[in-house]
Amino acid sequence: MNDKKVMVEIEGVNKIYGGTNHVVKDLSISVYEGEFLTLLGSSGCGKTTTLRMVAGFEEPTSGSIKVAGVNIENQEPFERNVNTVFQSYALFPHMTIFDNVAYGLKIKKTAKAEIKERVTNMLDLVQLGGFEKRYPSQLSGGQKQRVAIARALINRPQVLLLDEPLGALDLKLRKQMQLELKRLQKKLNITFIYVTHDQEEALTMSDRIAIMNDGVLEQIGTPTDIYERPASKFVATFIGETNLFEGCVSGIEGDAVSVTLETGTVTAKGSDYQMNEMVAISVRPERMQYSFEPVEGFTIEASVKEQVYVGSILKAIVILPNGNEVKIERLAGQSIPTDGKVYLYWNEDDAKLIHSRSQVFFDAVENMTFSSVS
Amino acid sequence: MSKHKMKSQTIPALTMVGPVTLWLAFFVAIPLLYVLVMSFCSLDSHYNVQFQFTLDNYRRLFDANYVQIYLQSLLIAFLTTLICIVIAYPFSFIIARTLSKKKAILYMLVIIPFWTNSLIRIYGWRTFLGTNGWLNNTLQTLHLTGAPIEFLFNRGTTVLGMVYCLFPFMVLPLYTAIEKLDTNLLEASSDLGARGKTTFLKVILPLTASGIFSGSIMVFIPCLGFFFVSDILGGGNADVIGNLIERQFQSGNNWPLGAALSIILIALTLLLVKLYQKCGGDMDSLGV
Amino acid sequence: MSRQSKRGVKKVSSIIFCTLVYLFLFLPIIVIVVNSFNATTSKPYLSWKGFTFDWYMKLFDNTALLSSFGNTILIAICSTLLATCIGTIAAVGMYKYKFKGKSAIDGLLYIPVVIPEIVLGISLLTLFTNTHIPRGVLTLVLAHTTFSIPYVIFNVRARLSGYDNSIEEASMDLGANRIKTFFNITLPVLAPGIGGGALLAFTLSIDDVIISYFTNGQTKTYPLKVMESIKSGVAPDVNALSTLILLGTVVLVILTQSGIFTKNKQ
């Protein structure tokens, strides 16, 4: 990925509203040409603000944004070669579908014949051929969404920004549109920056995912990276479900880290950990092993609380002696504990070691101690 | 960056809101200040306004004749508002609850009369009610009465004229409030065992109260000033505060006194609007 | 009583009630229309003396009446245009931007709406005398614009409350600058509100008596001419003109209702 050209470069961007409301904190992201990058986070995490700063509707309080190597700080939204697909679609209610899609070209004073040809092609591409004369109010949600996408794509932008474009659609349509969007993106090879709070959507569509929390970039990486190697507790719990076991580093031997938990000591793989550091071990529910008999090595005794049936998946919730709940997940057809006592354990490879506090926090604490000594 | 910010916010805001601000300042705020100042001015021997401070104008406001007209004015406004509510409420209810196509027509029929000049319509009432007007002629032809009856020139006909002029201002807010009523709510109420009367008192009335309030404001306040209605139909027997002011500015030529009388009207308006806001009224619903 | 017959009684009584209300509203208009065909020539032109078209013919000789009507139309057009422009731009500006003194402007806006017209009339009279602005068509236009602006703003504002701000952003995003966006997007979308406000402003202007009464100087508007003629008994030619105006507006409304509004349903 690194040999690819950088299309959008967000560097040290901060956004502060009204002097105190710090919504984006020192954000740096590079988006590569032709990449599908998703900004993922819960509402209020700053992802939409970031998108709006790239579009030009908001200005960074500090930091810079470059598109294709050009600093766009002083460009108005209508001067930027990026286009946006809005969450509310933002179709012009007084114009036909044709006029909506043709709007950008008309503003650029493109020749009439070319407009007609390009609009027709674009509508065919989003499977809306024949809808030219309708008005937005006569379309369904999914159709409106396609018009919004067509209207943005027809301008052949360097970057397409999508702000929760599928948020208002029902589940089935959303799944279908996810695939369609991905197909379009591959076909046109346009850089997409996609904002969503739906982790499943992010995992399905993205080349890379940037997870934001409270204005801070928590982790950026491929869907596999993020899911398999979460960099923080936030990421581990935000992406998919997981079971976290808090503990303290009690021994380091190469990349084997011993962690003392409440219920015993267990080893996990990891580097850059320090002795006595607070850490967490994340085990995905589908990787959680159980047995009805005591097993050798590390194990936790638990009792089954309830069982949940979710169609293709079976879930069991068990309770640890300290009252914490642990989830176990299996595909339908496999067995899952229904009641009584179980012994939990996991394979070393399935246990992901995570710093319990962020490194930034650690540095800050160290600095404080240092300064208080001197 | 901050320069860019200036460009994108301040200038558009200023160009858009500036004109209206200047206009309102020059044609609403300053004139009202003039009136306030003038109410403390005195007249010289040639009836010219002099900028010499006096409280005389305010003292004259307590003249028994004037006080009687204030009370009469309030009575007329009160009766007009009451009659408007009593007629307009069921009326708005019926038209707001009819089927959509008919509804638009019924609604238009309330507005159409107001495209004819209001003076001439008021005069139409005079033609109808006058001693040799239509009503008297009909009554006499039918031998229901021997001599023509004088219907005109009293408080009753003035109230009639006021109701006539201001009726749509009661219908419009009521219609809006009633149209907003959720039918499910009424069904829910009757579903829960409420009878018609209870549903009305506990559900419909509270939900449409805002319409009654704004309608009342829009009827009551103009009543105090509509001097031409009491001129044409009251014939000097049913003057309102508006008549007093009009006289001072036209024939009476005592502008400071007229200004002081206007201050009363302004104070009364402010009082009523405050009361309206206390009742939870929305200022924007007074607009249309 | 059975439920059905109860409902029947309810329906009949509500029809009777509504008919009576409409009769009340239209009675004076019937009087006006009928009297415009009254052949009477003696003041105060009340008793019915037979059918005639004379008054409609005579109307065209009554230049004073016709010119007053011309004034009314001129003033209504000018003040409506002014109020609509200022009001629309202001409503959009006040919706979009936050600034100090917004509530003060709001407060000023409500004054012409709630205050009795006579107060606005005499205060404008005081302003025009003190600033030595000669009273006439100009002062009438200024006065009418003043009381029309709030109605335009309220109408546009009502439309704005259901307005999706992002369509403007979408327009800019697609390459249109602010001015193009305003004319291509904002204005057309707000058009029904603006139209409603303008119609209201026009209606208020042509019907205004009280404020015109204090700000007219020597200029006569149609309502003021009517006021003048009331003293001597309204002549049937005034009724004839009123009938024609009513006819004109009704036709206009029927045309717009059936034609323009059906074309662009949203």
Contacts of C130 in chain B (CB under 8 A): 34
Cβ-based contacts of B1 with chain A (< 8 Å)? 59, 73
Sorting pLDDT into bands at 50, 70 and 90, what band is C263?
very low
From chain B, pick out residues whose CB is under 8 angstroms from the CB of A76.
8
Q: List chain B residues with CB under 8 Å of C84.
A: none
**The pair of three-digit structure tokens given for residue A313, joined into one six-digit string:** 């998946």
Q: What is the mean pLDDT of residues C201-208?
A: 89
Considering the entire predicted model, what is its pTM?
0.77
Region B182-190: mean pLDDT is 70
Given a contact cutoff of 8 angstroms between Cβ atoms, the answer to whether C233 and C44 are in contact is yes
- The conformation of residue B285, written as its DSSP 8-state character, comes to G
C70/C186 same-domain check: yes
Q: What is the DSSP letter of C51?
A: B
Query: Which chains border B (3 or more CB–CB pairs < 8 Å)?
Result: A, C
Q: Quick check: is C188 in a domain?
A: yes
Query: Residue B23 and residue C110: Cβ atoms within 8 Å?
Result: no
Residue B53, sorted as left (phi over 0), alpha (psi -120 to 50) or beta, turns out to be beta
One domain, residues C98 and C226: yes
Nearest CA in chain C to B108: C253
Task: Clarify whether residues C19 and C150 are in a common domain.
Answer: no
Whether the Cβ atoms of residue A220 and residue A209 lie closer than 8 Å to each other: yes
DSSP B143: T
Is residue B23 very low, low, confident or very high in pLDDT (cuts 50, 70, 90)?
Answer: very high
Q: What is the DSSP letter of B181?
A: S
Strands A216-221 and A208-213, by their bridges, are: antiparallel
Boundaries of every domain in chain B: 64-286
Number of domain units in chain C: 2
Domains of chain A, earliest start first: 6-228 (3.40.50.300), 242-368 (2.40.50.140)
Nearest to A343 by CA among A297, A296, A292, A307: A292
* pLDDT tens figures, A91-105: 999 999 999 999 999
The minimal CB distance from C29 to the residues B124, B259, B286 is found for B124
ipTM for the predicted complex comes to 0.87
Does an H or E element contain A29, and which?
strand A21-32
Contacts of A73 in chain B (CB under 8 A): 1, 4
Chain B segment 90-119 residues within 8 A of C by beta carbon are 90-91, 94-95, 106, 108-110, 112-119
What's residue C260's pLDDT? 47
CA distances from A173 to A165, A169, A178, A180, A184 (A): 12, 6, 8, 10, 16
Q: Closest-CA residue in chain B for C118?
A: B225
Classify A109 in phi/psi space as left (phi over 0), alpha (psi -120 to 50) or beta: left
3-state secondary structure of A316: strand
CA distance A247 to chain B (A): 47
Percentages helix, strand, coil for chain B, rounded to the nearest 5?
75, 0, 20
Q: What angle do CA B267, B268, B272 make, to 5 degrees?
A: 115
B117/B110 Cα distance (integer angstroms): 15
Contact C158 B227 (CB under 8 A): no
The more confidently predicted of residues C30 and C262 is C30
Residue C230 to residue C13: CA distance in whole angstroms: 38
| Cβ neighbours of residue A20 closer than 8 Å, sequence gap 6 or more | none
Backbone dihedral region for residue A31 (phi beyond 0: left; psi -120 to 50: alpha; all else: beta): beta
Predicted confidence at residue C128, as pLDDT, reads: 95
CA distance A157 to A150: 12
How far off is chain C from B87, nearest CA to CA, in Å? Answer: 8
Q: What is the pLDDT of residue A361?
A: 47
Place of tokens 């029809």: C15
Interchain contact, C175 vs A92, CB within 8 Å: no
Query: Mean pLDDT over residues B276-282, rounded?
Result: 82
Looking at the fold, whether C124 and C246 belong to one and the same domain comes out as yes
What six digits make up the tokens of C101? 């003194």
Residues in B touching C250 (Cβ below 8 Å): 112, 115
Distance (Å) of CA C8 to CA A57, B93, B186: 61, 17, 20
Separation between Cα atoms, residue B230 and residue B238, nearest integer Å: 6
The chain B residue lying nearest A61, using CA atoms, is B1
Q: Which amino acid is at A94?
A: H
CB B263 within 8 A of CB B272: no
Pair (C22, C97) in one structural domain: no
- Kindly state the average pLDDT of the residues A239-257: 86
C153 vs chain A: nearest CA distance in angstroms? Answer: 21
CB–CB contact C113 B286 (8 Å): yes
B279: pLDDT confidence band, cut at 50, 70 and 90? confident
Q: Does C85 share its domain with C212? A: yes
Query: Looking at residues B63-91, what average pLDDT do you find?
Result: 94
Residue A216 backbone dihedrals phi, psi, to 5 degrees? -110, 140
User: Do A94 and C175 lie within an 8 Å CB cutoff?
Assistant: no
Contact A64, A28 (CB under 8 A): no
CB contact under 8 A, A76 and C177: yes
* B-chain residues near C249 (CB < 8 A): 112, 115
Residue C196 distance to chain A (closest CA, Å) = 17
**Any idea which residue has 């020192």 for tokens?**
A26
Give yes or no for residue C1 having a pLDDT over 60: no
Question: Measured between CA atoms, how close is B243 to chain A, in angstroms?
Answer: 50
In a domain, C50, yes or no: no
A14 three-class SS: strand
Band of pLDDT at residue B198, cut at 50, 70 and 90 = confident
Q: What is the pLDDT of residue B6?
A: 41
Residue in C closest to B257 by C-alpha? C122
B164 contact residues in C (CB cutoff 8 A): 24-25, 28
Percent of chain B, pLDDT > 70?
93
Neighbours of chain A (3+ CB pairs under 8 A): B, C
- Omega of the bond prior to A285 within 30 degrees of 0, cis? no
Asked if C121 and C242 sit in the same domain, the reply is yes
Task: Evaluate if residue C146 carries a pLDDT over 90.
Answer: yes
Query: CA B246 → CA C111, C126, C156, distances in Å?
Result: 20, 13, 34
Is the residue at C44 inside a domain? Answer: no
C111 with C11, same domain?
Answer: no
Q: Given an 8 Å threshold on Cβ–Cβ distance, is C210 in contact with B227?
A: yes
Cβ contacts (< 8 Å) between C164 and chain A: which residues? Answer: 88, 90
SS3 label, residue C93: helix
Instruction: Encode A249-269 in three state secondary structure.
Output: EEEEECCEEEEEECCEEEEEE
* Nearest chain B Cα distance for residue C263, angstroms: 17
- Is residue C237 a contact partner of residue C62, using CB atoms and an 8 Å limit? yes
* Token pair in block for residue A3: 């040999």
The most confident of A347-351, B77-81, B270-274, C101-105, by mean pLDDT: B77-81
Give the C-alpha separation, A14 to A6, whole Å. Answer: 21
Within A201-299, strands assigned E span 208-213, 216-221, 243-253, 256-261, 264-269, 278-283, 289-291
Cβ neighbours of C46 in B, within 8 Å: 127, 130, 132-133
- Residue C21's identity, in one-letter code, is V
Give the helix/strand (H/E) hosting A28. Answer: strand A21-32
How high does pLDDT run on average in chain B? Answer: 85
Strand partners, B50: B42
> Hey, which chains touch C, using 3+ CB pairs under 8 Å?
A, B
- Whether residues C166 and A86 touch (CB distance < 8 A) is answered with yes
Give C170's contacts in chain A (Cβ within 8 Å).
84, 86, 90-92, 151
From the list C164, C173, C188, the residue facing A94 with the nearest CB is C188
**Cis, bond preceding A230 (omega within 30 deg of 0):** no
Label the pairing between strands A325-331 and B49-50: unpaired
In chain B, which residues touch A (CB < 8 A)? 1, 4-5, 8
Cα(C96)–Cα(B17) distance, rounded to whole angstroms? Answer: 10
The residue length of chain B stands at: 288
B245 touches chain C (CB under 8 A): yes
Q: What's the count of helices (H) and strands (E) in chain B, helices before strands?
A: 14, 2
Strand A21-32, strand A70-71: pairing: unpaired
Fold of B64-286: MetI-like fold (1.10.3720)
- Characterize the bridge pairing of strands B49-50 and A341-345: unpaired
Spatial distance between the Cα atoms of C151 and C145, rounded to a whole number of angstroms: 10
Residue B1: per-residue pLDDT:
39
B130 interface with C at CB cutoff 8 Å:
yes
The chain B residue lying nearest C193, using CA atoms, is B288
B4 band by pLDDT with thresholds 50, 70 and 90: very low
For A121-154, the pLDDT digits (tens) are: 999 988 898 999 999 999 988 899 899 999 999 9
C28 to chain B: closest CA residue: B124
Give the mean pLDDT of A270-296.
86
- For B105-151, what is each residue's pLDDT tens digit? 888 888 888 778 888 889 889 888 887 777 887 888 887 777 778 88
Average pLDDT, chain C: 86
Whether B72 and B159 have beta carbons less than 8 Å apart is answered as no
C134 and C17 fall within a common domain: no
| Residues of chain C neighbouring B225 (CB-CB closer than 8 A) | 116-119, 210
3-state secondary structure C199-250: HHHHHHHHHCCHHHHHHCCCCCCHHHHHHHHHCCCCCHHHHHHHHHHHHHHH
CATH number of domain containing C175: 1.10.3720.10
Q: Are A150 and A103 contacting, i.e. CB atoms less than 8 angstroms apart?
A: no
Range of the domain at C6: 1-28
In chain A, the residue whose alpha carbon lies closest to the alpha carbon of C174 is A104
Mark residue A18 as left, alpha or beta (left: phi above 0; alpha: psi -120 to 50; beta: remaining): left
What pLDDT, on a 0 to 100 scale, did the predictor assign at position A349? 85
Instruction: Please check whether residue C233 lies inside any domain of the structure.
Output: yes
Q: Is residue C127 part of a domain?
A: yes
DSSP characters over B36-70:
HHHTT-EE-TTS-EE----SHHHHHTT-HHHHHHH
Return all residues near C264 (Cβ < 8 A) that are at least 6 apart: A94
CB B252 within 8 A of CB B101: no
B20 with C89: Cβ contact below 8 A? yes
Q: What is the pLDDT of residue B247?
A: 92
Helix H or strand E encompassing A83: strand A82-85
